[in-house]
Amino acid sequence: MIPGFQAIVEERIKKAQKKGEFDNLPGKGKPLPVEAANVPEELRMAHKILKNAGFLPPQVEVKKQITQTRELLDSIEAPGPEKTRVQKRLNYLLTKLDTLKGDSCTAALARDQYRNAMIKKLS
């Protein structure tokens, strides 16, 4: 931290405390939420900066794409080339997520085959 800056910050905090500006804050008396519990302590600041700048870890980005693709797939009613194309995209994204997590590709394929079989039975 910049020399002298910490003293200024501490002084302002003490003034605010004396004025009672911290008395009615939401969550008073409760522990602060840990935003990045799975991120090592030394990487949390960098993670928060990247998150605030709109950058997401690859797994989170792929999960968002999977959600969007599933919604698109659910909105297509009639079977056809468009539905097949979207299903292939979903399979690709699930495999990509498994690869990022370190899971095997065969697990993703088995899960997708099971999902397709369930969809056919329920349709």
Query: Average pLDDT over the chain, rounded to whole?
Result: 79
pLDDT tens string 67-82: 999 999 899 888 889 9
DSSP 8-class letter at 22: T
Token pair belonging to 20 = 């009672």
Q: How many CB atoms sit inside 10 A of residue 29's CB?
A: 5
pLDDT tens string 94-121: 888 877 776 555 555 666 766 676 677 6
**End-to-end C-alpha distance for the chain, whole angstroms:** 62
Position of tokens 């003034």?
15
Type of residue found at 43: L
* Stated pTM of the model: 0.47
Type of residue found at 50: L
Q: What is the DSSP track for 28-55?
A: TTSPPP-TTTTS-GGGHHHHHHHHHTT-
